[in-house]
Amino acid sequence: MFGIDKIDQFVRVATKSLISKPVRASASSPAFDVLVAEVVRETADCVTLLLEPSSRIPAFRAGQYLKLATSVDGDVHTRAYSISGRESAGLQVTVKAVTNGSVSQHLCRDLQAGDTLTATGPHGTFVLPDDDAEPLAFLAVGSGITPILSMISTALEENPDRGIRLVYGNRGPDDIIFGALLAGLEVDHPGFSVVHVLTKPKRGWQGERGRLTGERAARFLAPRAATHVYLCGPEELVDATVRSLLDVGVQASRVHRERFTPRTREIADQVNGEHAVQWVRSGITDTQQAGESLLDAANRVDANVPFICEAGECGECKIRVLKGEVLHEADTCLSPTEVEAGLALACSSYAVTDLEVDA
């Protein structure tokens, strides 16, 4: 799912003629209101929001996220935040304030119990394997712990003796989110262990220190043959860790990663020329500009292509190319079978011929 080798960076997909019974792109999740029941301070710049939905929503899977809409200075902004509680618990998300992040700072600083937000979800494919006996290993940095805590606490509830290793990087001990909760899980579950790695530890710190590299992270993760490895942190570190894991023989199908930011468009500059795109269900025909993704083109003309993460991870912008050829990033959540069937992710696909698209 997450190929790294640059020689495999680009995949060319061709489809012949129209396909019968086209598959519709997944519809956007309906919005619902959530009441902020409680705001829990985790660290100086991080809070957990305990939420009470106004209506019944689909059960979430550990590792998934909600999209929350809130008003900041009169403008409505929408951001994705991971669910941090276990599957059997109530709905909660954890938000860390980021520099120049007006929405995250508003949620951490100004939000109070009794306030209301608008949400969609749950979204995402960064979830646990179906087999609750397989060992797990996790790498998290900073707020990357949010979906991973949900996965760890859910996995241990399902199988208290499950073998789980967490490698967790932070700046200092005061920056460790859920530190007390993680320590309690270690005490209650002998099969669960945490390796804390701090770049600026205080005097007397007995744990690991220094910068995490991909090789170092892979060594701490110490996966066995059957281990599923989950990575959530800075993209450069995650990429390096994936390479190191593959180098020591971990199967690519057992390495999973989460992205919080739109992917770097590796191939946009390589796609030249303009191509006509017919959005069949939307009844629109337009020209995709050079270097413009299919999602860019769809949004420009208001074609019916739902999207969420714009990072190739959630699968919400999945479409079927009925006729023509696209070039797309290899590193997306599409399976080889879906690619063979002519499916593409609009956020990371580019026309190289005229197209007909089921959207």
In a domain, 42, yes or no: yes
Rounded to 5°, the CA angle 306-231-59 comes to: 50
Q: What was the pLDDT predicted at 258?
A: 83
**Overall residue count recorded for the chain in this entry:** 359
Q: What was the pLDDT predicted at 15?
A: 29
Q: Are residues 238 and 289 in the same domain?
A: no
Q: What is the pTM of this model?
A: 0.72
Q: Is the pLDDT of residue 209 over 60?
A: yes
| Domain count within the chain | 3
Stated as kind and residue range, the H or E segment containing 239 is: helix 235-247
Q: Is the pLDDT of residue 13 over 90?
A: no
Q: What was the pLDDT predicted at 244?
A: 96
Q: Are residues 218 and 318 in the same domain?
A: no
In a domain, 130, yes or no: no
pLDDT tens per residue across span 304-318: 887 766 767 667 788
In a domain, 129, yes or no: no
Q: Are residues 96 and 111 in the same domain?
A: yes
In a domain, 128, yes or no: no
- Among candidates 96, 121, 65, which has minimal Cα distance to 259? 65
Burial class (CB in 10 A: 0-12, 13-18, 19+), 291: middle
Sheet holding 136-141: strands in order across?
A: 208-209, 192-198, 164-170, 136-141, 228-232, 255-257
Q: Are residues 249 and 142 in the same domain?
A: yes
- Among candidates 353, 333, 263, 292, which has minimal Cα distance to 343? 333
Q: What was the pLDDT predicted at 308?
A: 65
Q: Are residues 148 and 253 in the same domain?
A: yes
Helix segments in 39-140, DSSP class H: 102-109
Q: What was the pLDDT predicted at 26?
A: 35
Q: What's 14's domain CATH number?
A: 3.10.20.30
Count of C-beta atoms within a 10 Å radius of residue 331: 23
pLDDT band at residue 21 using 50, 70 and 90 as cut-offs: very low
Q: Are residues 140 and 253 in the same domain?
A: yes
Q: Is the pLDDT of residue 36 over 90?
A: yes
With contact defined as beta carbons under 8 Å apart, do 60 and 85 qualify?
no
pLDDT averaged over every residue in the chain: 84
Specify which residues 194 forms β-bridges with.
166
**Of 311 and 262, more confident:** 311
Q: Are residues 250 and 142 in the same domain?
A: yes
pLDDT band at residue 100 using 50, 70 and 90 as cut-offs: confident
Q: Are residues 192 and 231 in the same domain?
A: yes
Count of C-beta atoms within a 10 Å radius of residue 302: 10
Q: Are residues 253 and 141 in the same domain?
A: yes
The C-alpha atoms of residue 265 and residue 291 are separated, in whole angstroms, by 9
Q: Are residues 306 and 216 in the same domain?
A: no
Q: Is the pLDDT of residue 42 over 90?
A: yes
Task: Provide the greatest CA pair distance for the chain.
Answer: 68
Domain that holds residue 219: 136-257
pLDDT band at residue 29 using 50, 70 and 90 as cut-offs: low
In a domain, 49, yes or no: yes
Mean pLDDT of 313-329: 84
**C-alpha R_g of the chain:** 21
pLDDT tens per residue across span 119-143: 988 988 899 999 999 999 999 999 9
**What token pair was written down for 24?**
């519709």
Q: What is the CA 139 to chain-centroid distance, rounded?
A: 14
Q: What was the pLDDT predicted at 14?
A: 30
Kindly tell me the sign of the dihedral angle through the C-alpha atoms of 294, 295, 301, 307.
Answer: positive
In a domain, 87, yes or no: yes
